[in-house]
Amino acid sequence: MTSDETRHDELPAVGTPPSPCFETLAVGDELPPLTKGPLERVQLVKYAGASGDFNPIHVDEPFAKSAGYPSVFAHGMLSMAFLGELLTSWVDPRQLRELGVRFVAITWPGDTVRARATVARKFEAEGERRVELAVWTENQDGKHTLDGTAVVGFP
């Protein structure tokens, strides 16, 4: 075996993050958090285009003000997408089973979004081992903006 081959064997397959091991996960374990931002209005425009969600409240400042808000604000689904990114950076995208959130506070331009998750429960369902995670996003003041649950399956 050449040294090149050895190195290849040791590298995880690209696109497949070194997967956490179901056996060693413990309730309370926290995933490496993901920090985004400060969010810019341009990013909201970009997200509107990428997601197809052109609700004007997120991109049209006069419209947002006429609706009683001080400015445009981030799509709740953008913060949810950050949670999606957090989870699919942690496990292979095909292991994500469910992601559900409550939108509990608004994220404003200039805010930082920190996506976090902790292991809440280990169980079996539909013939596979699963981990339920408490997931949330918080802003720069530690205030929760999304609160929810995710389920990840392990082969």
Partner 1 sequence: MTSPRATREELERRLATYVGAAAGPPEVGRDPVDGALVRQWCDALDDRNPAYLDEDAARASTHGGLVAPPAMLQAWVLPGISMSRAAADPENRQRELHALFDAQGYTGVVATNCEQAYDRYLRPGDRVTGHTVIESISGEKATGLGSGYFIDTRTTFRDQHGGQVGWMTFRVLKFKPAAPPAAARERAAPPKPRRLRPALGHDNAWWWDGLRCGELLIQRCKSCGQLRHPPRPMCGACQSTQWDTLASGGRGSVYSFVVMHHPQVPGYEYPLVVVLVDLDEGTRLISNLVGVAPGDVHIGMRVEARIEDVDPELALPLFRRETSAGG
Is 133 within 8 Å of 31 (Cβ atoms)?
yes
Among 29, 41, 61, 88, binds partner 1 (CB under 8 A): 88
Measured CA to CA, the distance from residue 43 to residue 78 in angstroms comes to 10
Closer Cβ to partner 1, 9 or 26, answer by number: 9
- E strand or H helix at 99: strand 96-103
CA max distance for the chain? 69
Window contacting partner 1 (CB under 8 A); options: 25-33, 92-100, 117-125, 137-145: 92-100
Is 106 within 8 Å of 73 (Cβ atoms)?
yes
Among 27, 102, 140, 144, binds partner 1 (CB under 8 A): 102
The footprint of partner 1 (CB under 8 A) covers: 13-16, 36, 43, 46-47, 49-56, 60, 68-71, 76-78, 80-85, 88-89, 92-94, 96-103, 105-106, 108, 148
